[in-house]
Amino acid sequence: MSEIKTKRPRVRFQVIHYYLIPIVALIVWWGMLIAMLICWGVQGHPIYSFMNGEYQSPVYLSDIGATNLQPLFISCAGFQAIFFVGTLIAGMFLRKTNRIQPYISYHQPRLAIASIILAIIGQLGILFVSIFNTKNFHSVHLTMVGIFIAFIFFSCCCDFGVSFIFGTRPSLLDPVHETVIFGNGRLSNLYFLSFVSKIVWLVVAIVFAACFGYYMKHGDDSLSAKFEWCICFWYGFLLVLWSIDMVPSAIRKFRSKHPELYQTNQYDYEKQSVGANWEDDLHNHARNQSSMIDDQPTFVNSPIMQNQQLAQQQYQPMVQGNEIPANAAYSRQEGVGYTSAPQQAYTVAR
C-alpha cells in the first residue's frame, strides 16, 4: 500500500500587522525618490541657477529638493521619519509584550532605547535637510546631512547589537523559537543570519557614503551624486530587514486566530498570560542573592520553567489518544498533517 501523504499548512500570517510599519516608510521614501527623478527627467535634466552653471548628471537629491518640489521633499521626509522611529518603537513593544522573541539580556532594552533616541535625532536631521534647502542655507543644509548620517549610523549599531545578542546566545531563546535553529553550530540560527545581513547592509552603506564624500571633495559632482542616489535607495533596504524581523508576530497572530490549523503548546506566546518574565525574575532574584545574578535570565531559565522541567522528568504521563506528553512542549512546532480523514487539531490545556 502506498503511504498516505500528509499536507502541511502554508506559512500564513496576519496581513495587517506591525511588519507593515517599515514597509509604509519604504513606500513613501522610494516613492519620493522616484517622483523627484522623474520630474527632473521630464523637465529636461535642467542645471539649476544656484549650481553655478556647472554640468552635472544626475544632480544631487538636495538640488531637486530645493526647487518647486521642496514641499514634496519636506512632507515625505517627515512622514518616513515618523514611521522609521515608529518601527523601532514597535519592535521594542513587540518584544516587551512577548509577541516576538523577548529580550534575553538586560543590555538589549538599553540598546533598543538608545537606538530610538539616536534615530529621533537622526530623523530630525533629515527633516531639517529638507527644510533648510541647499539653495538658501547651504552650510546649514550640509550640517544637517552630517547629523542625519552620523546619528542613523549609531542608531543602527545599537539596534544591530540586539540581533547580535540573540544570534550568539541561541540556548537562551524561548522554546517556541526553537525552529529558528537550523544547524548544530552556536551561530546556526536565523537571528545571527539577520545580524549578518544587517552588517552587510551597513558595510555597503558606509562604502556608498565614503565614495559620496570623496568625490564631492574632489569636485566630481556627477559621480558623487550617483553615490548619493545609491545611498538613498539602499537606505530603504534597512526598512525591509526590520519588516522581516516583525513577520513572526504576524504569523503568531494568525496561528492564535486559527488554532485548528496548528499544533500548539502551553508556552505559545499568544496562549500564555505570563510570557517571558526574565526582568521580573532578575528583579526578585536581586533582593535575595545579588551575587548570583547574571544578565541572561529568561522565561526558559526562570524558576517557574525549571520547576516545570523537573516535574516533567519525574512524572512522565501516559500518551493516550490525542494527548501530548509534557516534554512535547519543547519540541519543534509543525503544522498538523491532513489526510483523507483529517483529525481535529489540538492544543494543550494550561
- Looking at per-residue confidence, does 259 or 139 come out higher? 139
Task: Give yes or no for residue 112 having a pLDDT over 80.
Answer: yes
Task: Give yes or no for residue 6 having a pLDDT over 90.
Answer: no
Q: How far apart are CA 3 and CA 212, in angstroms?
A: 61
Q: How far apart are CA 57 and CA 41, in angstroms?
A: 10
Summarize the confidence of residues 183-191 as an average pLDDT.
82
- Looking at per-residue confidence, does 309 or 297 come out higher? 309
Instruction: Quote the percentage of the chain above a pLDDT of 70.
Output: 69
Going 280 to 285 to 287 to 291, the CA torsion angle's sign is negative
Summarize the confidence of residues 12-41 as an average pLDDT.
92
Summarize the confidence of residues 204-231 as an average pLDDT.
93
- Looking at per-residue confidence, does 178 or 174 come out higher? 174
Q: Between the CA atoms of 326, 329, 331 and 337, what dihedral angle is there, to the nearest 10 degrees? A: 90
Residue 113 in grid coordinates: 532605547
Task: Give yes or no for residue 164 having a pLDDT over 50.
Answer: yes
Tally DSSP H helices, then E strands, for the chain.
9, 0
- Looking at per-residue confidence, does 141 or 172 come out higher? 141
Chain segment 269-297, per-residue pLDDT in tens? 444 444 444 444 444 443 444 333 333 33
pLDDT of residue 260: 66
pLDDT of residue 2: 46
3-state SS, residue 259: helix
pLDDT of residue 258: 73
How does the average pLDDT of the chain come out, rounded? 77
Residue 166 in grid coordinates: 540573540
- Looking at per-residue confidence, does 249 or 131 come out higher? 131
Task: Give yes or no for residue 189 having a pLDDT over 50.
Answer: yes
CB 336 within 8 A of CB 7: no
